[in-house]
Chains A and B, each alone.
Chain A
Amino acid sequence: MPEQLIRHGHLEADPWQRVDPAADAASSTLPDGPILLPASFWLAHRDTLRQRVGTIGVSLAPTFRVEDLVPDLRLLPLIAVEFPKFTDGRGYSTARLLRERYNYSGELRAVGDIGRDQLFFLRRAGFDAFLIPESRDANDALLGLADYPGAYQAAVGQRLPHFRRRFG
């Protein structure tokens, strides 16, 4: 089975095409349609790429400092955060910062080595889309979203921690 996209709680077709041009490639040679580019490429070519805003999303490596992208967030309908290994948890902090501190409201997609056992946490960190790799069953992964009946902490989608709701 190819990669499958879970968005807003169900499987959807993925209109985004991933493009990985060499850092010095000219932005004029990029394909048409919605494309997902490395954030570093966006930063290097942002002045020309701005002409096609709306069809460009960026992808963040685990080491990418999300602070560097803050001035451009309004221009980006999709930000993908890469998880080369599911045990590399930096992307969770990236997601919360994007949502909670920088009020990013576009699609926030987790990409890479993710599956059923991560989805509950990823969603609370602020991801609303998950690209499930070929090796995993996306229908099974969907079930992970319901792993726990609630949570103690405040997080994205749950502004108040449990202790502030306990007395409500």
Chain B
Amino acid sequence: MYHYDDFDRKMIAARVKVFRNQTERFLAGKLGEDEFRPLRLKNGLYIQRHGPMLRIAIPYGQLSSQQMRTLASITRDFDRGVGHFTTRQNLQLNWVKLPEAPDILERLASVDMHAIQTSGNCIRNITTDPFAGVAADEIADPRPWAEILRQWSTFHPEFEYLPRKFKVAFNGAREDRAVLHAYDLAFQLVTNEAGELGFTVYAGGGLGRTPLLAQKIRDFLPWPHLLTYSEAVVRVYNRYGRRDNVWKARIKILVKALGGAEFARQVEEEWAHLKDGPQTLTAEEVARVSAYFAPPPYERLENEDLSAVKVDNPAFARWLSRNVKPHRVAGYAVVVLTLKQAGCAPGDATTEQMEAAAQFADRFSFGEIRTMHEQNLVLADVPQRELFSLWQEARRAGLANATHGLLTDMIVCPGGDFCSLANAKSIPIAKAIQERFDELDYLFDIGDLALNISGCMNSCGHHHLGNIGILGVDKHGEEWYQITLGGTQGNATRYGEVIGRSFAAAEVPEVVERLIATYLALRHEGETFNETLARLGLEPFRATAYAKDPVNAAAADQELIDA
């Protein structure tokens, strides 16, 4: 992974100083709350229900074991022994104290980490495929490009105060594992007919109140132009994105208003001035950064035959089938450590779990860990012969639920228990669903299913992308939940459709169960939830979800009107 040099270190050390000074001025009353707010947000510091929340950047989801241990130590020394991994591959601490935030940053800086631009109206942490560099379907490793763009976006002189937040993602594989179409700006690595590397560029995607899929704005951008072209995109947005209405300020609204083609034309016009300028990338720089992502020193191994162990140990077999993915090097495997234990908030890891993950990384995976937007951890380079030992230890650490990709591997935002923007709680809903679906056999029978929960329209839980999406809504001060069906990520990304009026919290697990029962009853052999839905439409699902019953019959008719 990337290693900071002296210059990179000086930059984050300076940031710690700047932020300490800003915090001191705020605490001394020299900086008003309105002035401090945008500044602290640029450093990932929110004021939430219980007090400040700090969001720490994990650039494109890559961590060393040492960094993970430091994060663990921070959760122990500055928080309550738990951290929350987010859908943007970052880590959030929910119980920090404002005067200590600069000390946390200082400790982060000691392992080349920071919280720069993890919030605020600027270019945010860049995300990518958690299987980068090890997936068999990879065209090129996206991480060097993400790192190059990270440096360019850090303290950019022109883009500190954009109309709204700006999120960038890279994908380097044939399968999109970075949700490109939900991003403000997204790059898919491709090669052209001449075999040259470049990017297909998309802009204007986003979830939230107005979910829109990104539009393609360029078929092929040769790699040397990554920075100049990005500068053109963000400049057009900075100048012409709306600033009069916070709900209309994302780039997606500008792209939609202009139309993808016209937006692309304006970008090209701007880019014509910047193209081939000094920010054009050099082969030397790309080689410098790429060298950090060279494959680790793999041993020459054979693929293991694990069938005997599997017969002896069905639980291990299940874990292999769900949480272990093929690796491009013989004898190795990619392992997903799930952060979805029953009774815990999805994405949460305790100090001890973080330390355990760091230890597994050292012993089994060249000292590196990744975070996934599905709020799990990944060990990308595990020798297959170690899988059984790893599984046993991960089980002890509570990191081996064999549920990756199943219904209970939910994506869930912190919601109303923590987040001050929430309309409704999401964690208790997740827990209630987990309880109802605690039968592993049943979960395996249902198969791949994405269930995503957001506590409000900001959509941090990516509910639009869930096969089943649950969104917290506010109705006359009460917490209700709207359900969408048919969303999916990947190459065929689409957003789910609302099925009708929303439900009370107590109804949600029952409704999910009915939706699943409908799917199981109607599916053809081998069909996924979305395939059944596509074949039959929403109607049969809607019918069962709203079938009269004592819980919601009374409200049904009247509610339909304001749904």
A: residues with CB less than 8 A from B are 62, 86-90, 92-93, 96, 101, 115, 117-118, 121, 124-125, 147-156, 159-164, 166-167
- Count chain B residues whose beta carbon lies closer than 8 angstroms to a beta carbon of A: 37
Q: Is B278 touching A101 in the complex (CB atoms < 8 A)? A: no
Q: Is A93 touching B235 in the complex (CB atoms < 8 A)? A: yes
Given A152-B151, A155-B157 in contact, is the A117-B11 Cβ separation under 8 Å? no
Instruction: For B277, list chain A residues within 8 Å (CB).
Output: 154
Q: State how many angstroms separate the Cβ of A167 from the closest Cβ of chain B.
A: 6
Instruction: For A167, list chain B residues within 8 Å (CB).
Output: 284-285
Give the complex CA separation of A18 and B284 in angstroms: 50
Q: Is B442 an interface residue (CB 8 A)?
A: no
Q: Is B155 touching A152 in the complex (CB atoms < 8 A)? A: yes
Give the complex CA separation of A147 and B121 in angstroms: 20
16 interchain pairs (CB within 8 A)?
Answer: A86-B35, A89-B158, A89-B159, A89-B238, A90-B243, A149-B11, A150-B10, A151-B155, A152-B151, A152-B152, A152-B155, A161-B152, A164-B278, A164-B282, A166-B285, A167-B284
Q: Is B239 touching A150 in the complex (CB atoms < 8 A)? A: no
Given A148-B14, A166-B285 in contact, is the A117-B157 Cβ separation under 8 Å? no
Q: State how many angstroms separate the Cβ of B108 from the closest Cβ of chain A.
A: 17
Partner of A89 from the list B35, B162, B278 (CB cut-off 8 Å) is B162
Q: Is B278 touching A162 in the complex (CB atoms < 8 A)? A: no
Given A151-B155, A152-B152, A163-B285 in contact, is the A101-B160 Cβ separation under 8 Å? no
Given A87-B38, A148-B14, A151-B157 in contact, is the A163-B7 Cβ separation under 8 Å? no
Q: Is A92 touching B10 in the complex (CB atoms < 8 A)? A: no
**Top 9 closest A-B pairs, CB basis?**
A89-B161, A124-B157, A163-B285, A155-B157, A92-B158, A152-B151, A148-B14, A154-B278, A149-B10
Q: State how many angstroms separate the Cβ of B49 from the closest Cβ of chain A.
A: 24
Instruction: For B301, list chain A residues within 8 Å (CB).
Output: none
Instruction: For A87, list chain B residues within 8 Å (CB).
Output: 38, 121, 161
Partner of B158 from the list A88, A118, A125, A164 (CB cut-off 8 Å) is A125
Instruction: For A153, list chain B residues within 8 Å (CB).
Output: 152, 156-157, 279
- 9 new A-B contacts, CB < 8 A, other than A117-B39, A153-B152, are A96-B158, A121-B158, A121-B160, A148-B11, A149-B14, A154-B279, A160-B278, A161-B152, A161-B227
Q: Which residue of B lies closest to A159 (CB)?
A: B278
Q: State how many angstroms separate the Cβ of B122 from the closest Cβ of chain A.
A: 9
Give the complex CA separation of A160 and B281 in angstroms: 11
Partner of A90 from the list B18, B155, B239 (CB cut-off 8 Å) is B239
Q: Is B282 touching A163 in the complex (CB atoms < 8 A)? A: yes
Q: Is B11 touching A161 in the complex (CB atoms < 8 A)? A: no
Give the complex CA separation of A112 and B170 in angstroms: 38
Proximity bits, B228-255, A CB within 8 Å = 1, else 0: 0000000100110001000000000000
Instruction: For A162, list chain B residues within 8 Å (CB).
Output: 7, 151
Instruction: For A117, list chain B residues within 8 Å (CB).
Output: 18, 22, 39
Given A147-B18, A150-B10 in contact, is the A89-B282 Cβ separation under 8 Å? no
Q: Is A86 touching B278 in the complex (CB atoms < 8 A)? A: no
Q: State how many angstroms separate the Cβ of B316 from the closest Cβ of chain A.
A: 47
Give the complex CA separation of A92 and B227 in angstroms: 18
Query: Which residues of B in the span 109-130 have a Cβ within 8 Å of any Cβ on A?
Result: 121
Give the complex CA separation of A118 and B151 in angstroms: 20
Q: State how many angstroms separate the Cβ of A70 from the closest Cβ of chain B.
A: 13
Q: Is A161 touching B278 in the complex (CB atoms < 8 A)? A: yes
Partner of B161 from the list A86, A161, A164 (CB cut-off 8 Å) is A86
Instruction: For A89, list chain B residues within 8 Å (CB).
Output: 121, 158-162, 238
